[in-house]
């Protein structure tokens, strides 16, 4: 019995550290909210904490919440996030996460994320910071062939000729998507300059959907 409690004390010893008293609540809330933790100015302390206590944190989340603390990338491109286990049929289990706290990425936001990956991960550009307005313009101009599908999906319109109202609807949906990506820490938005920077954790989506992103047209309808 003593060995059992000793093992538990070792597994969760991080909870008794001064670092945990200062920062663990923020780390825990961020991870359970779907955020990705990585090396960047706004997350340096959280990143250092998770990297230092990764093995203990991994046991903590698996044993108490039935969820997986995953790590991907290497060096300065390393990032951490909460992932879920699969059952025998390959379906993801949501662990001990209350149903009201479960959130799914909208189809429209997923498509915008795929376009973002195509434009800036598969075809790297020189600039580190990307203008939000230029990004929206590039989607509408460089991906002209997708515009009818974007109109149907974002503006809920069957017209192939866009109106100013429908174009505004597309832009508003792109703004919502970028804010969501910022919440997930796939990008970091600077409100002062109205620009954003792509973070290493966006590669998670590329790793999950690489074949689909590279081979499937956005306007493909099943």
Residues 58-83: tens digit of each pLDDT: 999 999 998 999 999 999 999 999 98
Answer yes or no: is pLDDT of 143 > 80.
no
Query: Has this prediction a pTM greater than 0.75?
Result: yes
Q: Give the C-alpha separation, 155 to 158, whole Å.
A: 9
Residue 203 — very low, low, confident or very high, per pLDDT cuts 50/70/90?
very high
Residue 123 — very low, low, confident or very high, per pLDDT cuts 50/70/90?
confident
Q: Quick one: how far is CA 46 from the chain centroid?
A: 16
Q: Please state, for a pLDDT cut of 70, what percent of the chain lies above it.
A: 75
Residue 131: the pLDDT is 96
Report yes or no: 136 and 171 within 8 Å, Cβ to Cβ. yes
Residue 204: the pLDDT is 95
From residue 12, alpha-carbon distances to 8, 79, 194 in Å are 6, 21, 41
Report yes or no: 49 and 197 within 8 Å, Cβ to Cβ. no
Q: Which domains does the chain have, with CATH numbers?
A: 2-101 (no CATH), 107-215 (1.10.10.2260)
Answer yes or no: is pLDDT of 189 > 90.
yes
Structural tokens at position 17: 């550290």
């Amino acid at each position: 019995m003593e060995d059992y409690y000793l093992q538990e004390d070792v597994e969760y010893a991080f909870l008794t550290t001064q670092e945990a008293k200062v920062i663990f609540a923020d780390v825990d809330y961020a991870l359970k909210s779907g955020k990705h933790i990585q090396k960047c100015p706004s997350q340096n302390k959280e990143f250092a904490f998770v990297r230092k206590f990764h093995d203990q944190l991994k046991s903590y989340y698996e044993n108490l919440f039935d969820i997986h603390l995953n790590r991907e990338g290497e060096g300065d491109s390393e990032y951490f996030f909460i992932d879920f286990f699969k059952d025998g049929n390959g379906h993801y289990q949501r662990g001990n996460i209350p149903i009201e706290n479960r959130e799914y990425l909208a189809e429209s936001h997923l498509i915008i994320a795929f376009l973002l990956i195509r434009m800036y991960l598969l075809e790297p550009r020189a600039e580190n910071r990307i203008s939000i307005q230029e990004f929206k313009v590039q989607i509408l101009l460089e991906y002209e062939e997708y515009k009818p599908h974007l109109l149907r999906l974002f503006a809920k319109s069957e017209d192939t000729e866009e109106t100013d109202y429908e174009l505004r609807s597309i832009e508003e949906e792109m703004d919502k998507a970028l804010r969501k990506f910022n919440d997930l820490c796939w990008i970091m938005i600077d409100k002062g300059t109205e620009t954003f920077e792509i973070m290493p954790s966006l590669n998670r989506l590329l790793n999950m959907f690489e074949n689909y992103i590279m081979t499937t047209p956005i306007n493909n309808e099943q």
